Structure 1
Amino acid sequence: MLRATLTLLTGGALAQMVPLLLGPALARLFGPEAFGLFTAFSTIAASVAVVACARYEYALPMAQDDAEATALLALALRIGLAVTLLSVPLAWALHVAGRLPVAWALPLSVAAAGLLQVFSLWANRAEAYRSLAASRFVQYAGAALLQTALGLAIWRAGRGQAAGADAAWALVLGPVVAVLLAALWLARRAPPGGWRALWQVPAAALRGVARRYRDFPLLNTPHAFLGTLQDALAVALLIAWSGEAAAGFWGLALRYLKAPATLVGSAVSQALYPRLTQSAPAEAQRAVRQTMAVLALPALGLMALLALAGPRLFEWAFGAPWRDAGELARALAPYIAAHFVAAPLAVVTMAWHGQRWAFRLALVGQAVFLLCLAWGLWTGGLLRGAWAVSAGMVIYFGYYFWRLAHWPHIPARGAAAGEARA
């Protein structure tokens, strides 16, 4: 597990280094309003893309043999195609309602993200960690490079002026193209018989895996959707009560604050998930506890750094107009530290058949997040909202960590994958 994590972490570190280094340039090429619209689009696109394949792709590492895995892959891709087509009228409706900037990019974003997610879990089943690391580099580094190139073109055309809200399309297009390229990179690992063979999988086999792994669409899909919907509603609250610039500060701050969790969490979860599905209960419990303990150390260091120097760091890196984002980072520091530890642990309840419990708890967490943010915005503005979020979410995550550390029913190795015990 350590070897796999380090392989993924190395690729992820290289991938994250490029956008982190180019971030100050992007903050000078694009204004807060453009980042605000980009954040609004990203949260809506993520809310749709996260359910693009009904989460059946997450069952791929649990499939008992290649035939079952191939049927799951075929089912996930069929559902992804249907959701992509449905996103076209959805994009039009949201655009007409004034809720979705750059509406034309929504179907492209959903299709690219769905393909990347499916191919990533297919590679994860094969433990192709080097390919996964390379795809992450293409995804993150490619997005930042494309955004920077488009921003420079707009900056030159505007004679040195930072791009405003009308240039948000450039921030949107870069990640969409990069995600598609990352998916194509992973698509080189074809299933038995090639990709065309997936369209020849019998309907009976599709129905069989759909029933066997029905907890993923029934429980994990609404869980994941509500998680991304939380971000979309948070941005909507910020725009409604504080304006697009506030949403831009929020989006930039969370983009950088959650980057370590994305980097480490993705690597740890991709290495941890197959191990939990294959380990004896005592070994699995020990792995989860050790993972939480190891992640807590850098999380506390990150929180201390943001609390002491958050505003100065953001002003130095992005310029004086972005100091408010640093103040926001300081207020969100406790929440970010807890999220850093929690990020890779979502796969634990999948492996331990605890998706029902995780879904119920997630509903509570999302309500806490939004209520704390709304109360803070209403009573004291953006910073009070951020401090309220930190206070509420630290309590929520504390219970979550305790429950995973004392999970009562860990399934024995080889137990039925589709069974739910919690």
Structure 2
Amino acid sequence: MKSNIFKKLSNNNLARNVLIVASGTAAAQIIALILMPIITRLYGPESYGKLGVFITVITILTPISTMALPSAIVLPEKDSESRAIARLSLIIALLVSTILSLVFIAANDLLVNLSTFQNLGNLIWFLPLALLFTSCQDVYTQWIIRKKEFKDLSKVSVSHSLLNYGTQALIGFKYPFTYILIAIHTIGIFVRALMLYYFSKDIRSTSLKSDRNSKPSALRILRKYYDFPMYRAPEMLLSAISQGMPVILLSTYFSLTIAGFYTLTRTVLAIPINLLGSSIQSVFYPHFNEAVLNNSKTTSLLMKPTLTLLYVGLVPLVLTIFFAPFAFSLVFGDEWYEAGKYAQWLSIWFLFTLVSRPSISAIPVFKLQGWLLIFELISTIVKILALFIGYYYFNNPIVAISLFSITGSLAFLILILKVFKHAATLDNKIK
């Protein structure tokens, strides 16, 4: 029986590739889970709150940094065109990071008075570097996904997790300071980008020679993939704002400690998403794109991973709802008990985040970027209002987070239904 199951998996390229990525991600997450109880006891909620604000700012700026062009690297039939997209993405990222540095120099006094940057203080000088390194790793990740070198992605995930969390724990014993935490995080992004660059052999070995005569111009790339900077980038920006806004608002309206509780909760609940959701999304995206290019039906292709993620996600959801406060205080320390209360509500939103991954992968393939932009704009406004109501009318972070989780879950459900409806419409046109 077991041999038959493994035989079927080995003959299924999609399932096999998902297992390859998931195994590397699982190892990386295990390393994180082993070391995080040490790290949380060393640095404390306030340091985690500042780290959460720092990561949120980077996440919000990343779509602007690359204009979402790395997401298009998988799509072209020719490698020369994909290399041109990668080059253009890196050039834009370098320009944006340079401009951001100049803005910080010219308007430092003004920025310090803003609540978000006030919470970071001098740590804002890490932002331009972290933004550039994040943009680079996005480009090289998409190239490796295009080449379907999923084993390399797994190697990078494990190595980065060991380096990042291991260094935080080791140095934290002697220097448990916030700037150390953020400096290590920034260096970790840089090292991850270097490792991804190393494994992106094809992108660097021929990009300057064999593609010289055939590579498309930057203007041609922007014209052909205009929907990415025009629709995808603003949508990703809005998505980053809607997901990161709790950290910003909690640190502004309540305290950095409250933001730290949320940051740890988000990190822990993201583990199944990183383990399964991202693994399936990385493999599913090029696989789904090929199916559409071959004029194949896509509804059943969407249904299988969506239902799989739903079934798998229900178990941790139930466990989190019943046991999260006790588990958080036991594993991470007594001062993190409150974070477990946040997890009880946020687990609902994270379940829908997990289940939506295949549908989100299908959106650029279906060219639904314009719809997604409008949808993300509306849902972001609604989620920010939910947080504000929790603060203004209840002055309670748990109420704010619960309202945010419910509205976010409903938004993901609407997105999934829209993508499935579009897939069914296209399937009906195929004879």
Whether the TM-score (by the shorter chain) exceeds 0.5 is yes
Q: CA deviation at 1:49?
A: 2.2
Q: Which moved more, 1:121-130 or 1:328-337?
A: 328-337
2:414 equivalent in structure 1: 399
2:299 equivalent in structure 1: 285
Aligned pair 1:300/2:310, yes or no? no
Indicate conservation of the 8 Å contact 1:249/1:322, yes or no.
yes
Aligned pair 1:376/2:390, yes or no? yes
Aligned pair 1:87/2:93, yes or no? no
1:49 equivalent in structure 2: 62
Matched letter for residue 306 of structure 1: T
User: Which one of 120, 133, 145 corresponds to residue 112 of structure 1?
Assistant: 133
1:140–1:385 Cα change, 3 Å: same
1:347 equivalent in structure 2: 361
**How do residues 322-337 of structure 1 correspond to structure 2 at under 5 angstroms?**
322-337=336-351
**Distance in 1 between the 2:64 and 2:24 partners?**
26
**How do residues 23-422 of structure 1 correspond to structure 2 at under 5 angstroms?**
23-92=36-105, 93=107, 95-98=111-114, 99-100=116-117, 101=120, 102-154=123-175, 163=176, 167-188=177-198, 189-191=201-203, 193-194=205-206, 196=208, 205-280=217-292, 282-380=296-394, 381-407=396-422, 410=426
1:417 equivalent in structure 2: none
1:91–1:411 Cα change, 3 Å: farther
Q: CA deviation at 1:350?
A: 0.8
Indicate conservation of the 8 Å contact 1:352/1:411, yes or no.
no
Q: Supply the RMSD in Å over aligned alpha carbons.
A: 2.3
Q: CA deviation at 1:410?
A: 4.1
1:70–1:33 Cα change, 3 Å: same
Matched letter for residue 220 of structure 1: R
Matched letter for residue 97 of structure 1: N
Q: SS in structure 2 opposite 1:266?
A: helix
Structure 2: unaligned runs, 5 residues or longer? 1-13
1:16 equivalent in structure 2: 29
1:14–1:103 Cα change, 3 Å: same
1:175–1:344 Cα change, 3 Å: farther
Q: 1:28-64 CA distances to partner (integer Å, 9 max, x unpaired)?
A: 1012111111111110111112332211111111112
Structure 1: unaligned runs, 5 residues or longer? 155-162, 413-422
Q: SS in structure 2 opposite 1:407?
A: helix
Indicate conservation of the 8 Å contact 1:74/1:201, yes or no.
no
Q: 1:236-262 CA distances to partner (integer Å, 9 max, x unpaired)?
A: 221222111111111111111122112
Matched letter for residue 168 of structure 1: T
TM-score (normalised: structure 2): 0.87
Aligned residues with identical type, % of pairs: 21
Q: 1:318-338 CA distances to partner (integer Å, 9 max, x unpaired)?
A: 111110000111122211211
**Distance in 2 between the 1:54 and 1:41 partners?**
20
TM-score (normalised: structure 1): 0.89
Q: SS in structure 2 opposite 1:153?
A: coil
**Distance in 2 between the 1:329 and 1:230 partners?**
18
Indicate conservation of the 8 Å contact 2:297/2:427, yes or no.
no
Indicate conservation of the 8 Å contact 1:73/1:198, yes or no.
no
Q: 1:140-193 CA distances to partner (integer Å, 9 max, x unpaired)?
A: 332211211221121xxxxxxxx4xxx211221222222222221221214264
2:7 equivalent in structure 1: none
Q: CA deviation at 1:204?
A: 5.9
Indicate conservation of the 8 Å contact 2:80/2:214, yes or no.
no
Q: Between Structure 1 and Structure 2, how many residues are aligned?
A: 402
Q: Which moved more, 1:397-406 or 1:199-208?
A: 199-208
